Every structure is written in structure tokens, then in C-alpha cells.
Amino acid sequence: AIATFKREDWKYITTNGREGARPADPPSRVWPRSGQMVMRSGWEEQAHWSYFDAGPLGGWHGHYDNLHLSVAAHGRELLVDGGRYWYKGDRWREYFKGSAAHNVILVEGTGQNDSGRGTDLTEHHAIRPDFDFARAEHAAGFGAIKGVKHARAVVYLRGLCWVVFDRLTLDQPRAIEALWHFHPDCTVQAEGQQ
């Protein structure tokens, strides 16, 4: 594809900067109508990057992962997506497609319903020299629970950290669980409430 489309920037990315031409800055990209945003600190192998998914379900291949966030930094995957696993129609396929395998919110232990079109990020994102921002909402409910909305905003302070803001609009008091799937090689330690 690099040779066919004459994309020296693709060559730079695939060779970790050893060949080709560095892509234009800023390094972050948004595909607003499909609800996808990649936030990056740069193009180096040790660069920070994240993937925010506010798009539609995606048919048979789709996952119930609206507002999912994956994060990598310093050459390490930190927050991960469970992936596809396999196409065999069994409980494992249902788990990997379901919300519980993603970095999202569960309401009363229940995952998301199909969000339809997803969120158009055209007016809900910013890419600036020092930060990136995206905001989207899941309003399709959680199982039989229809009166709940989950809005998530992600701010990436370039080269420093990500800040995630979750806002839930509830029809009544509900049990809420925020899921964060860390890569198996990560060590996460709780210190009080942190």
C-alpha cells in the first residue's frame, strides 16, 4: 500500500521513523462521522496514544463498546480492548462482544443496548497543540433499563495523561460499575481512593 499510494508518511509509521517522511502534526486524528478518535503525543515507538470509540455497533462484527477507551504509553499497552477472540457462537463470543469486555460503564451489572448511529464527533472534539478532547453519549439504555444515559468526555493532555469524565443521568438510584481492563503485564496498585 505504501508503494501503490506513494505514502512516505505510512512508511515512517511502519518503520518507527527509520524511513519515509514524518506525518504532519498534530499527530492526533478524528473520523467524526464514524465516531472514532485517536489521540497521540507523536509518532515514535514510545509515544502515547489512545483510541476513543463513540461509533455505531457495526453489525455482526460489532461490540457493545460505545464510549470505550484504549490507552498505550511508553511502548506499553495500558488499557486494552478484549478483541474478537473468535467467531464461534458460544458464551465466549458473547462475552467478548459484550460491554463487560470493554472499558465502559455497566448499570445494575448490565451492558449496553445497540446505540444505533453512535455519536457524530464533528462538533464534539478538539485537537490543539497541548491537548485533545472528545465527548460522546450513550443513550440507548442498558438491557431492560431504558432511562439511563452515559456521557463520557476524554481529555488528553499531550505527553502527560488522560482525564476521563463520566456523567450518568439516571431514572432512579442504580448500581454503577466503571470497568477498566488493564493489560495483563500492568501492575495496578490502589492507594486509598487512588
**Over the stretch 5-59, which tens digit does the pLDDT of each residue have?**
999 999 998 888 889 999 987 899 999 999 999 999 998 889 999 999 998 877 6
**Over the stretch 76-94, which tens digit does the pLDDT of each residue have?**
999 999 887 777 888 888 8
**Distance in angstroms (rounded) separating the CA atoms of residues 131 and 151:** 20
Q: Which residues lie below 8 Å from residue 19, measured CB to CB, with a gap of 6+? A: 11, 12
Strands (E), 15-124: 29-31, 36-40, 49-53, 68-73, 76-79, 105-107
Tell me the pTM: 0.90
